[in-house]
Copies of this chain bind each other. A is one copy, B any other.
């Protein structure tokens, strides 16, 4: 009864109940024609399919239908908690459209990235969503995708100039939000941990921070600005923050608050401060960015700027689906840009500036 390949085919069912492959196909794929098939026949075929454990071969089906029902999701690093909510949003969007997200994880490695991109093309993904980061310096590979007319959307970076629809958080607004929060709490000597220079977000957040400072008539002491090194692995944010704290404390420059580039950095800062005996938030406030899980569950919970990641994922998938449908109707979709609004999440790592100047022990 079992085929040699181990999988049941239409032919098996056809033989088993004495109909042609066509009829069986029509019934099981619920084609329009199946209305003409006698109810008794339908019943019989369905029963047999169930009994034999039939599952239509996606390869044969896609080949014939010229649709893969697949959208590739290319994450630069799944171990970055940033990616997960985006993926969830995408899945939520794709599920009802019965598209399968082909989720691949480049693990921040360029070589893997290229490999997977090729695989995506071979698997005839109908669309590609890239969850991006610094991995993209040379994006020539996207050309390959474009050449094949596959719609592409990018999350976490603005590539509209290269004709790619993009979604990202309004980094400038986010940076300003964090800074305003610290200023409102009375902080004046605020240390800033800038992101790695290879990241696009870095400049934008920095611009927001500066805007907020100048609007409040505050000048940022350049000596209190620290530059994170480039990223080597997924924990380098934490270590950067730790290192910043040690260095800044050693320099004896007073500060009452730290604005960290992202949550992991903020957690590193907290660690560094604590081990020098400085309490957060009593002696020094710390604010992060992203709102990932570790920031929420650490103690004190890190005040941070929330990115609506799930919503961005949802929208990215929507756009991709629309582009696919649009292409069928020969309509050209315009390149879109979505600037998601960040939101300040106040937790326990920020407090009013201490009355007297005290930050180095």
Contact = CB atoms under 8 A, between A and B. Distances in A.
Given A53-B148, A57-B124, A270 B299 contact: yes
A78 B313 CA distance: 15
Given A56-B122, A60-B63, A6 B149 contact: yes
17 contacts: A7-B124, A53-B147, A58-B122, A59-B62, A59-B124, A63-B63, A91-B105, A100-B123, A103-B104, A267-B299, A270-B299, A271-B297, A271-B299, A271-B301, A294-B297, A294-B298, A297-B298
Oligomer copy total: 2
Contact of A105 (B87, B107, B150, B293): B87
B297 A264 contact: yes
B58 A124 contact: yes
Interface string A278-301: 000000000000000110111111
A140 interface: no
Contacts of A300: 274
Nearest to A302: B298
B87 A148 contact: no
Contacts of A123: 58-59, 100
B103 A105 contact: yes
A299 B298 contact: yes
